[in-house]
């Protein structure tokens, strides 16, 4: 309630209170547009769950490309802590043999004090030579960490010279950790560079009548493989995934598909939009998290192509999968029905997992993003009204024009007449994302960039049965006696996407929630020692 919200904020000094108030909403559908503040700086001193720009660029978008060597130019810690921890899986495929996959390795210039004092360009340059000699990669990326920007190493120049020397593409990403207010800045920097220098360079279209890309799917715990399994079974050709289990080769050919699917809007919407501008390719926001959500997505996707055979095959696959999945979900729904959850994840999962929880009879009563923008909460229609600030202006925008040779109208991609395309657009939200807020129920709480204090207070007040957390805040949940599922890397498990993923998630949530051990944990407020 509003009163509860006031209590929550009451302990803050006035300026902090004023700030944090704008990042909190209680859903009320009677209000026309509930605006939230997002993508602004965390107040210094507050324990946020956000990551840095380097994490968003190298860790999230660039890192999963399996056949490029990704060099971290910086002190060893930045490389070490982004080494394999996100569990974005990769394997060999038709065009990428095992020897070309470097996903399990970690490459860093390991900058030392002398490099900071005298500059790290020579060391970086030497490292590229060594990498080429030892691994013969198809291409290389260099990601900058904080000190690189501070001392002014020109990684762009090093990359250009190396590219000439070795005849392979070397991409430099100026994604210093401190740029922007969170990892979201790194997504944008990565999107720009890949759009400008990689996408559109290939000429090989994969065979098939319905050729699609999946953007914003990173194959965490094998999610992408489960999605691919379903799509291939229906008859789609998955041309490329951006960037889970993807290859440099695939990304060069990304423009040679019929439709872009967008799973994570936050991290990749730039590429979806830029490909629409440059090539005319339409895109569809999808959600493969949850049984109902997956069915809805598959049906919308089939409708985009307006093909009876495809629609029929979609229904066949859905019926076959549901026959397996529904009894399992039903079993767990008996255990979980009516239970509540909180969800605090990066910039899209807090929305997607609401669908999966509802399949299980559960409700996410508090949902938060770490670094999403207003459009991820309120819908893309607010984009023109978002004010840019010094932090967002720091990230360059690419201003693209339609490609003279490759641009085609959206309806041509889908093999439809213009009229038919317009008609389909009325029922299928092509090129749009409505955000998380419309899916939430009145009285539920929406919170941006939650901190440790607010986390504890909300748990104390609302006593959820489960918290969907990150790598660090799962321990807060556990110390408060509430089970959690870690939704970034899924710890050691997954996939959670698609039909098979839903069954795995259901089983693990049921196990977590029914574990008697949680009753043995004493929360700080339960032993009278709270808040001293
Ligand atoms: Fe997109 Fe992601 Fe997410 Fe994200 Fe991330 Fe992630 Fe995430 Mo962790 S790309 S916004 S920057 S869905 S790494 S796979 S889980 S915070 S909600």
Find the 218 Cα to ligand 1 centroid distance in Å. Answer: 9
Active site residues: 52, 55, 86, 187
Transcribe 28-68 into DSSP letters: -TTSS------SSPPPTTS-B----HHIIIIIIIITT-TTE
Total number of domains in the chain = 1
Please tell me whether the peptide bond between 298 and the residue prior to it is cis, using omega within 30 degrees of 0. no
Residue 66 lies in a domain: yes
- Find the 296 Cα to ligand 1 centroid distance in Å: 22
Q: How many residues does the chain have?
A: 532
Q: What is the pLDDT of residue 235?
A: 98
The reply to whether ipTM tops 0.90 is: yes
If you measure from the C-alpha of residue 266 to the centroid of ligand 1, how many angstroms do you get, rounded to a whole number?
8
- Distance from C-alpha of 222 to C-alpha of 88, rounded to nearest angstrom: 7
Does 486 map to a domain? no
Q: For residue 280, is it within any domain?
A: no
The predicted pLDDT at position 531 comes to 46
pLDDT of residue 47: 87
Lining residues, ligand 1, CB within 6 Å: 56, 60, 86, 183, 216, 218, 220, 264, 266-267, 345-349, 488
Which residue has the CA at smallest separation from atom 2 of ligand 1?
A: 264
Residue nearest to ligand 1 atom 6, measured at CA: 488
The pLDDT value given to residue 423: 97
Report the distance separating Cα 110 and Cα 172, nearest Å: 17
- DSSP one-letter code for 450: -
Q: Domain range for residue 136?
A: 54-197
pLDDT in tens, 167-206: 999 999 999 999 999 999 999 999 999 999 999 999 999 9
The burial of 257, by beta-carbon neighbours within 10 Å (0-12 exposed, 13-18 middle, 19 or more buried), is given as buried
pTM over 0.90, yes/no: yes
User: For residue 524, what pLDDT is reported?
Assistant: 86
| Rounded distance between C-alpha atoms, residue 240 and residue 251, angstroms | 6
**Residues in the chain, pLDDT under 70:** 528-532
Q: What pLDDT score does 528 carry? A: 62
Q: Does 427 reside within a domain?
A: no
Q: What is the pLDDT of residue 532?
A: 42
Kindly give the number of the ligand 1 atom that is closest to the alpha carbon of 266: 10
Residue 8 lies in a domain: no
Flag whether 10 is in a domain: no
Tell me which residue has its CA closest to atom 14 in ligand 1: 218
The conformational region for residue 366 under phi > 0 = left, psi -120 to 50 = alpha, else beta, is beta
- Ligand 1 center–CA 59 separation, angstroms: 10
CATH number for the domain including 101? 3.40.50.1980
Instruction: Give the residue carrying structure tokens 């080769």.
Output: 249
φ/ψ (deg, to 5) at 167: 70, 20
Pairing, β 169-173 against β 139-144: parallel
Looking at the domain assignment, is residue 74 inside a domain?
yes
Q: For 421-479, what is each residue's pLDDT tens digit? A: 999 999 999 999 999 999 999 999 999 999 999 999 999 999 999 999 998 999 999 99
- pLDDT for 271: 98
Q: How far apart are CA 272 and CA 282, in angstroms?
A: 8
Distance CA 386, CA 406 (A): 31
Q: Which two tokens stand for residue 387?
A: 């004010």
Is 158 part of a structural domain of the chain?
Answer: yes
């Amino acid at each position: 309630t509003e009163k509860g919200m006031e209590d929550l904020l009451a302990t803050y000094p006035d300026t902090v209170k004023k700030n944090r108030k704008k990042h909190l909403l209680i859903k009320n559908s009677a209000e026309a547009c509930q605006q939230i503040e997002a993508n602004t700086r965390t107040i210094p001193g507050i324990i946020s769950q956000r990551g840095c720009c380097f994490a968003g660029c190298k860790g999230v978008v660039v890192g999963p490309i399996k056949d490029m060597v990704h060099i971290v130019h910086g002190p060893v810690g930045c490389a070490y802590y982004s080494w394999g921890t996100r569990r974005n899986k990769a394997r060999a495929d038709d065009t990428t043999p095992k020897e070309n996959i470097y996903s399990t390795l970690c490459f860093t210039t390991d900058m030392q004090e002398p490099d900071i004092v005298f500059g790290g360009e020579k060391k970086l340059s030497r490292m590229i030579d060594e990498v080429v000699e030892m691994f013969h990669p198809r291409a290389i990326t260099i990601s900058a960490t904080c000190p690189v920007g501070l001392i002014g190493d020109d990684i762009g120049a090093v990359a250009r010279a190396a590219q000439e020397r070795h005849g392979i593409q070397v991409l430099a990403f100026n994604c210093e950790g401190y740029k922007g207010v969170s990892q979201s800045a790194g997504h944008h920097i990565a999107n720009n560079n890949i759009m400008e220098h990689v996408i559109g360079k290939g000429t090989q279209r994969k065979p098939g009548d319905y050729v699609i890309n999946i953007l914003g799917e990173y194959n965490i715990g094998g999610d992408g493989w489960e999605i691919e399994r379903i799509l291939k079974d229906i008859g789609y050709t998955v041309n490329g995934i951006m960037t889970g289990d993807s290859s440099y080769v695939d990304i060069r050919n990304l423009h040679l598909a019929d439709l872009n699917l967008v799973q994570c809007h936050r991290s990749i919407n730039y590429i979806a939009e830029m490909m629409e501008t440059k090539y005319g390719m339409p895109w569809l926001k999808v959600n493969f998290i949850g049984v109902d959500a997956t069915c809805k997505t598959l049906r919308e996707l089939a409708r985009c192509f307006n093909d009876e055979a495809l629609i029929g095959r979609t229904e066949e696959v859905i019926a076959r999968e549901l026959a397996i999945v529904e009894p399992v979900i039903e079993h767990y729904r008996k255990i979980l029905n009516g239970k509540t959850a909180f969800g605090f994840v990066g910039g899209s999962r807090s929305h997607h997992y609401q669908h999966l929880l509802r399949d299980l009879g559960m409700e996410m009563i508090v949902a938060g993003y770490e670094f999403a923008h207003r459009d991820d909460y309120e819908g893309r229609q607010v984009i023109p009204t978002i004010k840019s600030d010094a932090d967002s202006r720091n990230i360059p925008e690419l201003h693209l024009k339609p490609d003279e040779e490759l641009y085609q109208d959206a309806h041509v991609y889908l093999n439809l007449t213009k009229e038919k395309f317009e008609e389909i657009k009325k029922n299928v939200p092509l090129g749009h994302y409505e955000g998380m807020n419309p899916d939430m129920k009145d009285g539920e709480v929406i919170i941006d960039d939650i901190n440790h204090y607010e986390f504890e207070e909300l748990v104390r007040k609302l006593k959820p049965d489960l918290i969907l957390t990150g790598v660090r805040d799962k321990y807060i949940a556990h110390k408060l006696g509430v089970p959690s599922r870690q939704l970034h890397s899924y710890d050691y498990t997954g996939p959670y996407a698609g039909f098979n993923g839903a069954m795995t998630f259901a089983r693990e949530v049921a196990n977590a929630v029914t574990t008697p051990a949680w009753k043995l944990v004493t929360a700080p407020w339960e032993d009278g020692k709270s808040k001293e």
